[in-house]
Amino acid sequence: MTPNLCIKNGTVLNPVTGKTRSVDIRIHDGVITETGPDLEVSDERVLDARGLMISPGWMDMHVHLRDPGQEHKETIETGCRAAAFGGFTAVACMPNTDPPIDNREAVQSLIKRAEMLPVDVHPIACVSRGRQGKNLSEMVELAEAGAVGFSDDGSPVQDGSLMRRALEYASRVGKPIINHMEDLGLGPKGEMNEGIISTTLGLTPIPTFSEESMLGRDLMLAELTRGHLHVAHVSTERSTAMIREAKVRGICVTAEACPHHFSLTENAVEKSGFDAQTKMHPPLRAAEDVEAIRAGFCDGTLDVICTDHAPHATFEKETDFVSAPFGIIGLETAWGLTGRHLIANGRLTVGEAVNKLCVAPRQILGIDVPVLKVGETANLTIFDATTEWIFEDRHIRSKSKNTPFLGMPMRGRAWAIYNKGRLVEQRP
């Protein structure tokens, strides 16, 4: 436990209303005991938050902790360490582990192992047993064990009948189905976005319509079943438009997009000299897709900013582009890229951005949103949206270092989190 704490001179942000107020916060034994201006300090630690903002703790609803089975890439402990650096007090982890998270014991084990860490870990369980796409997992049992959603992420649910039944069952337990939108038959074994650059470079393409065709199917199934469809890592202009239209029609659909998809284009592959750090799934797309993602956040089509944090060991990425695995880490850079590419250019206000990092993911997954008021358990992030900094190797807290953003400018930093009675500060 962190000793009793008084946070002084900060500006508290309400991410629902966007309103701010200058107030001190006193925390004793992990609970907010007093708020107000110019609180007197007694026998407690003081954290000066002058010039900084304080919001309820952020959540990343799409991370890969690689634990169990691939601990050489990441562990629960190192993943949570990276999350804390990025300002996150909670993460939801995907089930493509070894073995997959498809049973009660696996869900409960993850939750228990994270109990003593300052970051909450919420397991997302498999849609199908073993992520094989053949038989539904025991969704009711998994939800009772603590699963907050269902996904075979990394393995798209190809069988439409299975997807229909998944949406029907998930609706009974009030959980979303989170699908990786890709028709594998339309873009098998591709390496980068289909276009002039892939043709020039001689790389096998991944067409945008492989994402969009699967999305179209799932939107119709969501309309039919009235189940909650959550669209993972949206990457194309047409996908964004389809989701916008579906929401107008009243379909129960929510959606997320990642900082790399609103920060980089497919040009990064060529400019980097085929560096495998630019290889991700969905791939980096064209400039018009990047612009559509930014616009989708601006008009509310896209609900959540998440990272798809996908660590890989150095030796796995230090190979040729074709052979390297997909994925990059993202927890440490999420806020800096959001500030640079969405806030600084006026796409989102600070309050709107924090809402997409704090409120929306928890609402989608049915998790209580932290409240900063007396009597509530303290769960908060201390940050700014203006600090200019360069992302360097020393900032990486993940066990892996696979990122294309080293040496790139960021805007805005998370300076500390407080959760589970623990203060975690970040050094400049």
Q: Which are the catalytic amino acids?
A: 308
Rounded-to-integer distance, Cα 62 and Cα 217, Å: 22
Q: What length is written for the chain?
A: 428
CB atoms within 10 A of CB 310: 26
Q: HEC profile for 202-255? A: CCCEECHHHHHHHHHHHHHHHHHHCCCEEECCCCCHHHHHHHHHHHHCCCCEEE
Rounded-to-integer distance, Cα 307 and Cα 398, Å: 13
Q: Name every residue whose Cβ is closer than 8 Å to that of residue 324 and which is 6 or more positions away in sequence.
A: 276, 279, 312, 316, 317
In the sheet that 177-179 helps form, which strands lie side by side, from edge to edge? 177-179, 229-231, 253-257, 304-305
Closest CA to 344 of 263, 242, 255, 230: 263
Rounded-to-integer distance, Cα 81 and Cα 84, Å: 5
CB atoms within 10 A of CB 319: 11
Rounded-to-integer distance, Cα 241 and Cα 251, Å: 14
